[in-house]
Chains A and B, each alone.
Chain A
Amino acid sequence: MDPETSTTPEMNFSILGSAAPVLAPRVGKLAIPGRQAISTPHFVPLTTRGAVSHIAHDVVRKETAINSLFIGLEDFIEKKHPAPLYKTPVAPGESPLRRFICAPDDMPMILAPRRFPSIPCPPTNTETSVAILTSVGFRQLTAHQYVEAIQKLQPDIAIGLADIVTAKPPGTRRREKMVDRTHAFTRDALEQLYGSSVAEGKTSKAAYFAPVLPLENAQQLLYLEDLENEFREHLSGLALYESTSLSFIPENIGHLPRLLLSEPVTPHEILREVSLGADLMTIPLIGACSDAGIALDFVFPAPASTQERGEPQPLGIDLWPSKHAKDTSPFKKGCECYACRHHHRAYLNHLLAAKEMTAWVLLQLHNHHIMDQFFAGIRDSIQQGTFDEDVYAFNRAYDSELPSQSGEGPRFVFLSLPSYLCPSNKGTIRLRGHYIAPRQGTNHPKRMQKVYGRLDDLSEKFNESQSSVATPDTDAEGLERHGFAEKV
């Protein structure tokens, strides 16, 4: 892993080949001063509270090719403002965020108001703020606070604030409001960060990615016009919430990098989004597969050996089933990730059954590696001019969906939530951190109800005791087979 560090004075995005084709895949390079350059199309690794889930910082550095971090400001907001993050002592010009989350100096950091995927908040957004979910409950993040965060925290890229309605499809009026508010958020932020009123030398160095709303072209025309004209000089990129938006990006901002905040659930969907011209993408699928015990297993372009099999191959391997118990082959043959170089399926199968955290560490390392390779293959294919054929062949060579999950996810459940906040009404949720989907429909919980900050010691201790006080989950014959004891 030999990252190339950019030395240009400000963020620079260069598209290889034809200038800015519309609705076509493209290869580019995003260079941020002092940071690793990112070849696009690429994915942006997601973080929880500033850390890549399950992968400790030293392992990120030594054993992954992770070259950017997507960070949600809401993960850092506490009851009192300013939160501790802002008080991080730094050298002049250094980012407190970088120091706080212990990110390497050359790691590009992308700051968004909310983490991704974000959980719908029952409180609604307002004219001046958006609703967020913090570890101390629902809060409002004002546009002003967010601009201040960009100024103080100095991310490399800042995703602009947008009025997004997540709970249900917005009506006509609400859609108008979304546009008006987002328009205003963008105008104000650009003015405050880079405008003429900002003292010389004080303009923000963060590259601003303006949101494009998940609405039809016609509904946000005025806003898009301003993006391509009035706001143009301060824009460094665009943040899109759905791939449809790629079809109506105004021509003279077509050369800006496009970060697509979508949730593709298969590699086929990723390819589709790339084919429409996405440059950077968020892929929660990686973490979801790791949590589910699934090791991704696909290559782009599909190798001839895979295509020749005659039937679609699985996109991943579910490592829960006991058929892997004695299998000392790597997750994926020939894979060069840390997990495949050092471990085998039998170990992963054991770790999953034993509910050991190391299982998710190894799966994350593998799945991030597979996705790295996948995107490298995509870039090559586009440059070779064979992307369309390769996609066609890939779609035929592999199953259309990932294998379904047969085991449980991580046992790292920290919060016991009231049942009304849980999608399944089971009283707890499986996601780490504190993200839960509020129940749809009426009967919403009271706003700002205090359900967080009450880390459930008991459930954690219980989990702990389960690991150290394992009780056999097999019968007498099983124990005998395991050489554990004999029946008498």
Chain B
Amino acid sequence: MSTTAEPARKAMPSALTFDRHAKCSTTKARASTLKLPHGDVPLPIFMPVATQAALKGLTYDQLRDTGCMLCLNNTYHLGLKPGQEVLDAVGGAHKLQGWDRNLLTDSGGFQMVSLLKLAKVTEEGVRFLSPHDGSPMLLTPEHSISLQNSIGSDIIMQLDDVIATTSPDHARIKEAMERSVRWLDRCIDEHKYPERQNLFCIIQGGLDLELRKQCCEEMVARDTPGIAIGGLSGGEAKEEFCKVVDTCTDILPEHKPRYVMGVGYPEDIIVAVALGADMFDCVWPTRTARFGDAIVSSGTLKLRNRQFADDFSPIEEGCTCTCCRSKEEGGLGVTRAFIYHITAKETVGAHLLTIHNVHYLLNLMKNVRQAIMEDRYPALIRQFFSNIYQGDKSKYPEWAVGALRGVGMDLLADE
């Protein structure tokens, strides 16, 4: 590795504590508590994405009501609007958006590379042409960290060299992995507030398990407070995704939080938890809400379908979110028919369904954590898949069956 010649590394203080409470006796699932500067986060956890410092029409009190302790902002977006100068003047993103719980920011590199077609990654950083006036520009690991220092998020991410996992160019994947390690060192050097912001490294290496292992070893040696597994929301096969997560968690230290970036759907999360991952984020639950899609235990309901026009049941029977609880139970008593009536025609429809969807995922994670604590996670997984596929095991996705078998659980066996 090109980094072996590095001089003695800067000590890496941590602004978090990670308390592991229980480990599943079958799978690699863990239940723990992540203590961050703005409160304790129960793990495993799903983190809603408030891209531009707002969660799609919800007030932060509504988000608090769902039990959320940690949500995301995107550095790329906050860098564009309102920009570093404003963030510094206002005193960071917590103060900007009036959120007194925890924030996590990504590095901005992912959006940069995927959105700006002319972006080119060099050793210095990401080179691109300003879309506005065509001037050549450079985004470096130092820029990203400086911006995240201004944002003041409780967890910040290193800038990594992102390429699609589906890239066929092995040499490029290797280069990206090695460069990500070098950039991590630059990020550590640049990081001004390690005592209050936790820098996470991002494991790269595409779908090549050997590269991933190397990357894990290199990065773990840098002793960041937490570890992310990156490059896995790019449309790779689910089998490959699971292999990468499984491989990494085997090497990663037990006493640090593991964050699988950009994942995902409830099924992905349930399996990834079994593979030993702790943290997840995805825009899907909030985005899909705006199109009238409700996440329920049997899958997704497209409430804009005519069949729901006179369906007066709650979005999900038994759900304890503010929308689904009946008036008599102190909730709003929102029905599928009302969502059908209002969705995509008035912003309130999106707000209501966003509340439900975020609550669904946070509640799912709460149940997951409880099950791990009581050492009955495999039973929860069985019930979860049974709900989605109406008990028809022949429909269970092979990738999930395979991945779970790899951690000692036979999803197809009867309990």
User: Contacting chain B: which of A170-178, A255-263, A463-471?
Assistant: A463-471
Is the CB–CB distance between B338 and A101 below 8 Å?
A: yes
Task: Give chain B residues whose Cβ lies under 8 Å from the Cβ of A328.
Answer: 90-91, 95
Which B residues, 301 to 346, have Cβ-Cβ distances below 8 Å to chain A?
304, 309-310, 312, 322, 327, 332-335, 337-338, 340-342, 344-346
Task: Give chain B residues whose Cβ lies under 8 Å from the Cβ of A338.
Answer: 59
| A310 within 8 Å of B (CB atoms) | no
**Residue in chain A with minimal CB distance to B126:** A485
Is the CB–CB distance between A485 and B355 below 8 Å?
A: no
Interface size bucket, A side? 35 or more
**Other-chain contact of B85, A354, A470, A482 (Cβ < 8 Å):** A482
Task: Give chain A residues whose Cβ lies under 8 Å from the Cβ of B350.
Answer: 357
Determine the distance from Cα of A326 to Cα of B283 in the docked complex, in whole angstroms: 28
Task: Give chain A residues whose Cβ lies under 8 Å from the Cβ of B143.
Answer: 483-486
**Residue in chain A with minimal CB distance to B96:** A347
Is the CB–CB distance between B85 and A471 below 8 Å?
A: no
Q: Name the residue in B58, B115, B332, B348 with the highest tally of chain A Cβ atoms < 10 Å from its Cβ.
A: B348
Interface size bucket, B side? 35 or more
Is the CB–CB distance between B139 and A474 below 8 Å?
A: no
Determine the distance from Cα of A485 to Cα of B310 in the docked complex, in whole angstroms: 53
Is the CB–CB distance between B84 and A483 below 8 Å?
A: yes
- How near does chain B come to A106, taking the closest CB pair, in angstroms? 11
| A222 within 8 Å of B (CB atoms) | no
| A59 within 8 Å of B (CB atoms) | yes
Please judge, given known A-B contacts A84-B309, A87-B310, A346-B86, whether A57 and B53 are in contact too, CB under 8 Å. no
Is the CB–CB distance between B57 and A358 below 8 Å?
A: yes
Is the CB–CB distance between A484 and B80 below 8 Å?
A: yes
| A149 within 8 Å of B (CB atoms) | no
Is the CB–CB distance between B342 and A470 below 8 Å?
A: no
Q: Name the residue in A49, A104, A357, A412 with the highest tally of chain B Cβ atoms < 10 Å from its Cβ.
A: A357
**Residue in chain A with minimal CB distance to B142:** A486
**Residue in chain A with minimal CB distance to B55:** A358
| B131 within 8 Å of A (CB atoms) | yes
Is the CB–CB distance between A84 and B62 below 8 Å?
A: no
**Other-chain contact of B52, A105, A354, A482 (Cβ < 8 Å):** A354
Task: Give chain A residues whose Cβ lies under 8 Å from the Cβ of B291.
Answer: 460
Task: Give chain B residues whose Cβ lies under 8 Å from the Cβ of A473.
Answer: 80, 132
Is the CB–CB distance between B351 and A464 below 8 Å?
A: no
Task: Give chain B residues whose Cβ lies under 8 Å from the Cβ of A84.
Answer: 309-310, 337, 340-341
Task: Give chain A residues whose Cβ lies under 8 Å from the Cβ of B126.
Answer: 485
- How near does chain B come to A367, taking the closest CB pair, in angstroms? 15
Q: Interface code A151-169, partner B: CB below 8 Å = 1, 0 otherwise?
A: 0000000000000000000
Which A residues, 339 to 376, have Cβ-Cβ distances below 8 Å to chain B?
342-343, 346-347, 349-351, 353-354, 356-362
Is the CB–CB distance between B352 and A56 below 8 Å?
A: yes
| A410 within 8 Å of B (CB atoms) | yes
Task: Give chain A residues whose Cβ lies under 8 Å from the Cβ of B135.
Answer: 475-476, 487
Is the CB–CB distance between A479 and B137 below 8 Å?
A: yes
Please judge, given known A-B contacts A343-B98, A476-B137, A482-B83, whether A455 and B344 are in contact too, CB under 8 Å. yes
Determine the distance from Cα of A451 to Cα of B83 in the docked complex, in whole angstroms: 42
Task: Give chain A residues whose Cβ lies under 8 Å from the Cβ of B65.
Answer: 58
| A199 within 8 Å of B (CB atoms) | no
Task: Give chain B residues whose Cβ lies under 8 Å from the Cβ of A76.
Answer: 341
Task: Give chain B residues whose Cβ lies under 8 Å from the Cβ of A59.
Answer: 59, 62
Is the CB–CB distance between A326 and B52 below 8 Å?
A: no
Is the CB–CB distance between B341 and A488 below 8 Å?
A: no
Q: Interface code B19-58, partner A: CB below 8 Å = 1, 0 otherwise?
A: 0000000000000000000000000000000011111111
Please judge, given known A-B contacts A57-B332, A351-B54, A485-B139, whether A360 and B337 are in contact too, CB under 8 Å. no
Task: Give chain B residues whose Cβ lies under 8 Å from the Cβ of A135.
Answer: 345
Determine the distance from Cα of A346 to Cα of B93 in the docked complex, in whole angstroms: 11
Is the CB–CB distance between A346 and B82 below 8 Å?
A: yes
Please judge, given known A-B contacts A346-B86, A470-B80, A486-B138, whether A105 and B327 are in contact too, CB under 8 Å. yes
Determine the distance from Cα of A57 to Cα of B330 in the docked complex, in whole angstroms: 12
Is the CB–CB distance between A325 and B127 below 8 Å?
A: no
**Residue in chain A with minimal CB distance to B49:** A468
Determine the distance from Cα of A356 to Cα of B267 in the docked complex, in whole angstroms: 29
Between A and B, 6 residue pairs with Cβ closer than 8 Å are A102-B327, A326-B85, A362-B59, A433-B346, A460-B291, A483-B85
The 4 A-B residue pairs with the shortest CB-CB distance, nearest first, are A483-B84, A482-B83, A476-B135, A357-B57
A residues neighboring B (CB under 8 Å): 48-59, 62-63, 76, 78, 84-85, 87-89, 99-102, 104-105, 135, 325-326, 328, 338, 342-343, 346-347, 349-351, 353-354, 356-362, 410, 412, 414, 432-434, 455, 460, 464, 467-476, 478-488
Extra contacts besides A473-B80, A482-B85 (19): CB < 8 Å: A63-B59, A101-B338, A102-B327, A102-B335, A105-B327, A326-B90, A338-B59, A342-B61, A343-B98, A346-B89, A351-B52, A358-B58, A455-B345, A476-B133, A482-B83, A483-B146, A484-B84, A484-B139, A487-B136
